[in-house]
Amino acid sequence: MSVTIYHNPRCSKSRATLELLQQRELNPEIVKYLEMPPDASELRELARKLGLPPRDFLRTGESTWKELGLDPNAVDAAELLELMSAHPILIERPIVVCGERARIGRPPEAVLEILTKP
């Protein structure tokens, strides 16, 4: 089973989710998205797999978002994806992808539902 985690090593939820995957003897591909940000197309695909609009995995509490001074409801999905790519700190974390499904690891156990066959 191929598993990918969009990981921020400084985030406790991200570390806990990675540990949960490793305890299950999964060796996920680790994408340190702050170092290698996904482009808008990759984020669009993540949104599809998550089944969420971009604003639902946008971290509006981050100082970067506040500095931008934008209203998430006034910015369309395409613009949000571009902003998230340009400022990856705005992407909710961690995101785990398994096949055609993805989940945000908040709480970390939330990712377990995509690790079993539908």
- What one-letter code names the amino acid at 111? V
Q: Which residues are catalytic?
A: 11
pLDDT tens, position by position, 2-27: 999 999 999 999 999 999 999 999 99
**Is 80 exceeded by the pLDDT of residue 116?**
no
pLDDT at res. 117: 62
Long-range Cβ pairs for the range 79-83 (8 Å, 24+): 80/54, 80/55, 81/40, 81/43, 81/44, 81/47, 81/54, 82/40
Residue 71 pLDDT: 87
pTM for this one? Answer: 0.94
What domains are there in the chain, each with its CATH number? Answer: 3-114 (3.40.30.10)
What torsion do the CA atoms of 72, 102, 95, 12 make, to the nearest 10 degrees? 120
57-112 tens-digit pLDDT: 999 999 999 999 988 888 999 999 999 999 999 999 999 999 999 999 999 999 99
